[in-house]
Structures are given as C-alpha cells and as structure tokens.
C-alpha cells in the first residue's frame, strides 16, 4: 500500500512538473512573440516619423538634392540637424557616414510617369496618406508628399539585427534552461526510485526487527519457554478450532515447582534461576513435537497438548513428573512439581479452562505435592 501511494505521488509529481514546465514554455514563447511585435511596431512608428519629418522639411525647404535617391541621407545639413533634434538617438555630425540609421529616400514627382511597381503602390494608397510593409531586415513606407508627389522610404535596421541576436541568445539560454529542467526532472524521478528502494529496505528491516521483537516477546529469556503472550495467542486458536470441530479437542496442564520459595530463601535467587533452567530443559527434552511449553510466571509453567485426550495426557504428565523428580542438583536433594491437568469441554472458555486447571493444581499441592490431579 505504501509503495502504491508513493507511486501515485510520483505520477502526480510528474504531471505537475510537466504542467508547470508547459506553462513556463508558453510564458517564454508569449513573451518572445510580444517582444517581436513590440520591436516591429517600434520600427513602423519610427519610419512613420521619418515620413512626417520628410514631409515637413519638403514643405518648408524645397531643395533639389532633397528629392533625389539618397542612400545615406547625409548631404543635407538642415535635414540632419532637424532629424537629430527630433529623435532620441543623436546623430554625430562629425562622422555622418557612421550613422545608426541606414536610410533610402526616393521622391517621385506626381506629374511624371513611373514604373509599374510605383504605379501599383500609388493605386494601393487610395485615400490613405501612406502604406507600409515590414520585411525581415527592413521596413518600407510609400506615401504622399503634399500634392506634388510621392516618397518611398526604405529603412534598414541594424539595431533590429542586434535585438534578434539578443533574442537568439535568449533562446539559447532558455533552451539551456529547458535542458537543465529536463535533467532535473529525470534526476528527481531517479531520486523517487531511489527513495522507493530505501523505503523498501527500511520496511524490510522494520519487518525483520518487528519479527525479532515479537520473537523476543514470545520467548522467556531465562527458561527458553514461550511467554504468556504466545500462550494467549495459541490458546485462542485452539479454542476456535475446538468450538468449530468436535474432534479438535486438546488438554491443558499447569505445573508448579514444589517448595520453590524455600530454594530462593535458602540458596538465593541465582540458584533459583538454575533450578528453573534445569526443569525447563528437562521438560523441553521430553516435550512432544505437537505440544507447546510456556512459562506462566515465577515457578509456574503451562503445557498445551493439541489433539490429545485426557487419558493419554495423564500418562504423559506422570512421565514428566517422574523425569523432573530425577533431576540432580548439587545443593538440593530433590525438586518436584505438582500438576493440574484438564481436557477441553464444550462449555469452556479461556477463563473456565484455566480455572479448572488451577483448582486441580491446588488440589495436588493440598494432597501432598509431586502428583498429577485431573
């Protein structure tokens, strides 16, 4: 489930990243288009200003050299002075050949005949004062000059080339950013995969530690017998089977070390632990494969015997009682155990079963110890 959720989060991250990346790309593209349009509009506005200025100069100072084809437009001082004052970029008069504007202005007298190309442009004018076209490297304007003729202005834009280079450089930078983002995206996906592997390993280690912890909790460290936690679990399982299937009967046996308190009082708790270990070892050595052995608490132990009837369990309990009584201890002459043995009844539950076994154990103690009551 954890892996599924993580995979789902990974998919969500991928979608979100792609959407953001697409929005970023759209924003860059839109900004680029707007900048291109702004540049285009500014150049159109500039050539219209040139047209208006030419018309103004034409009306005020009519000169012959103003009306001829003039590629660089530098041989009329009056026009250059007025043009320089009316534009934000100053033209250096001392070096007029090195201008920032490469301008071609050609005048066409209205009374003369012109080429087909010019006649078509005149026809396009109609009632308009001027028309313009925008090309890759220049902008061209064709317009009326008073009532005397027409002017064709072609303006090459070196600055436009510079801006294009800047834009192209920007595109290169943006492309680099895009590639870096793609790299980061796949790197993050790799990190997700690595994170998944780390989570799997941690989960595996956690499960192993949980099993180890459970194993520790299930086994008594002193005697090696199962604990009460394990006993409760196993007894519940046996009860469920016995309730469901009549043939799944079982027996429960409680045994208690006789006079164990005197052992601790006389020889100390360390020697008492030795006694507990020896008895537990003897029981485990004589334990059937199908039986389960638990430390109930202190000097009390419990044995569960699945699929066993009372008569067979009595024989086993007597054998076990005799084996325990034969254990040799250096400081103690003999150690014995008393047993309370019961077989499951249909009216039993966990409490009644244990109560019956405990009462029989008490009876064995009362009747002289070292015996099996059933």
Q: Could you list the active site residues?
A: 299
Q: HSE of 251 in the Cβ direction (CA atoms, 13 Å)?
A: 21
* Helix, strand, or coil (residue 143): strand
Q: Take residue 119 and report the two structure tokens written for it.
A: 């006649």
Cα–Cα–Cα angle for 147, 153, 154, nearest 5°?
165
Q: How far is CA 331 from the centre of its chain?
A: 66
Cα gap 165→147, rounded to integer Å? 42
Give the pair of three-digit tokens for residue 134. Answer: 């925008």
User: Which structure tokens are listed for 169?
Assistant: 């450089």
For residue 366, the number of C-alpha atoms closer than 13 Å in the C-beta half-sphere is 8
How buried is 317 (Cβ within 10 angstroms: 0-12 exposed, 13-18 middle, 19+ buried)? buried
Q: What share of the chain is helix, strand, coil (3-state, %, to 5)?
A: 60, 15, 25
According to DSSP, residue 220 is labeled -
- Taking a C-beta distance cutoff of 8 angstroms, is the pair 131, 119 a contact? no
Closest alpha carbon to 341 in 313, 308, 370: 313
Q: Parallel, antiparallel, or unpaired: how do β-strands 130-134 and 138-145 relate?
A: antiparallel
121 half-sphere exposure, CB direction, 13 A CA radius: 22
Using alpha carbons only, give the angle 115, 120, 126 rounded to the nearest 5 degrees: 135
> Hey, is 61 helix, strand or coil?
coil
């Amino acid at each position: 489930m954890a892996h599924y959720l993580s995979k789902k989060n990974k998919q969500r991250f991928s979608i979100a990243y792609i959407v953001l990346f697409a929005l970023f790309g759209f924003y860059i593209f839109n900004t680029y288009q707007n900048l291109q349009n702004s540049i285009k509009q500014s150049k159109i506005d500039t050539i219209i200003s040139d047209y208006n200025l030419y018309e103004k100069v034409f009306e005020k100072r009519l000169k012959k050299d103003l009306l001829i084809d003039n590629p660089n437009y530098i041989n009329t001082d009056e026009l250059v002075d007025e043009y320089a004052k009316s534009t934000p970029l100053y033209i250096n008069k001392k070096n007029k050949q090195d201008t920032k504007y490469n301008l071609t202005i050609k005048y066409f007298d209205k009374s003369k005949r012109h080429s087909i190309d010019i006649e078509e442009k005149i026809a396009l004018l109609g009632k308009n004062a001027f028309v313009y076209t925008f090309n890759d490297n220049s902008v061209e304007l064709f317009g009326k000059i008073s009532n005397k003729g027409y002017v064709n202005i072609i303006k090459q834009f070196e600055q436009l080339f510079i801006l294009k280079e800047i834009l192209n450089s920007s595109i290169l930078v943006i492309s680099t950013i895009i590639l870096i983002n793609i790299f980061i995206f796949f790197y993050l996906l790799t990190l997700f995969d690595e994170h998944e592997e780390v989570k799997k390993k941690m989960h595996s280690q956690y499960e192993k530690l949980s099993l180890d912890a459970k194993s520790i909790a299930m086994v008594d460290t002193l005697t090696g017998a199962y604990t009460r936690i394990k006993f409760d679990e196993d007894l519940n399982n046996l009860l469920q089977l016995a309730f469901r299937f009549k043939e799944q009967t079982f027996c429960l046996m409680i045994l208690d070390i006789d006079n164990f308190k005197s052992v601790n009082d006389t020889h100390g708790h360390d020697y008492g632990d030795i006694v507990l270990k020896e008895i537990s070892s003897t029981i485990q050595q004589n334990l059937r494969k199908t039986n389960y052995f638990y430390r109930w608490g202190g000097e009390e132990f419990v044995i569960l015997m699945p699929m066993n009837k009372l008569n067979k369990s009595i024989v086993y309990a007597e054998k076990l009682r005799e084996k325990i009584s034969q254990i040799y201890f250096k400081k103690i002459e003999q150690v014995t155990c008393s047993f309370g043995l019961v077989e499951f009844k249909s009216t039993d539950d966990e409490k009644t079963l244990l109560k019956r076994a405990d009462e029989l154990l008490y009876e064995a103690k009362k009747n002289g110890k070292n015996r099996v009551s059933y």
